[in-house]
Amino acid sequence: MIKARNLTKKFGNFVAVDNINLTVEKGKIFGFLGSNGAGKTTTIRMLTGSLRPTSGEIEILGLNMKTHELEIKRRIGVVPDEPRIYDHLKGYEYLEFVMDIYRVNGKEVKDRIQELSEAFGVDYLFKQVSDMSHGMKQKLMLISVLMRKPEVIFLDEPTVGLDAKSAKILKELLKKYASQGTTIFLTTHILEIAEKMCDEIAIIDKGKIIAQGTMETLRNGENKSLEDLFLELTAQEEDIKNIVEML
């Protein structure tokens, strides 16, 4: 479903993503973790066709990104870390715009908009985007992606800015979609989300994948939380101790 082979991105001499390999099977939830600046967003941007890799291969839904970029973009959904929506549109105009672009319409999609709006408490579709808060825009963005029922969904920090109820609904919805065959790739700094939701986890550090597998494989027989494992693997445990002592 999602495959990256020897994927690298350089910005000038700086290597943001360094020769990574990953595979996500259909219907799985894959959590991509890493500290600030580790390379998560850069990887998502390459996997979704919005940034050209320096080298390496990407395959989504069995299609090569180099030869089938448009078809891939038509069949996937992307929720970026910052909602990018035209300010001058009203909420419903934005949804209509997305429906036009993806050529999805009809009763099914409209019903889904209705259901998703109710689920996320979106009762402001007549408001102009410029007058919406960050969380309100984030929910509109989520509806615009989920209403299309894409086969693969990429979400960059999806719960940031969402209230507790909306975040919970989103997590449950993603689990439900995955059980119905949708493939989910998400980044998060909230390790508890990854621990509870993801079938498989990869940790990226300074552009390189330093650990990958199910929670069981990552734990390797020890009864550790993902937070402990993450800090240990990214060698930040000692740092934190010293910093707290210093303060």
Ligand X SMILES: Nc1ncnc2c1ncn2[C@@H]1O[C@H](COP(=O)(O)OP(=O)(O)OP(=O)(O)O)[C@@H](O)[C@H]1O
Residues near ligand X, by CB under 6 A: 11, 16, 34, 36-42
Q: Which is nearer to ligand X, 117 or 234 (CB)?
A: 234
Q: Which is nearer to ligand X, 53 or 91 (CB)?
A: 53
Alpha helices of the chain — where are they, by DSSP H?
Answer: 40-47, 65-75, 91-102, 106-120, 134-146, 164-179, 191-197, 215-219, 226-233, 237-246
- Which amino acid is located at 111 in the chain? D
Q: Which is nearer to ligand X, 89 or 210 (CB)?
A: 210
- Output the smallest distance, CB 79 to ligand X, in A: 14
The CA distance from 74 to 88, in Å, is 25
- Output the smallest distance, CB 206 to ligand X, in A: 9
> Helices 106-120 & 164-179, crossing angle to 10 degrees?
140
- Output the smallest distance, CB 36 to ligand X, in A: 3
Q: Which is nearer to ligand X, 36 or 180 (CB)?
A: 36
- Output the smallest distance, CB 37 to ligand X, in A: 4
Q: How far is residue 30 from each of residues 41, 99, 117, 219, 242, measured CA to CA in Å? A: 14, 27, 26, 17, 33
- Output the smallest distance, CB 203 to ligand X, in A: 11
Q: Which is nearer to ligand X, 22 or 95 (CB)?
A: 22
Query: Is the distance from CB of 190 to CB of 183 less than 8 angstroms?
Result: no
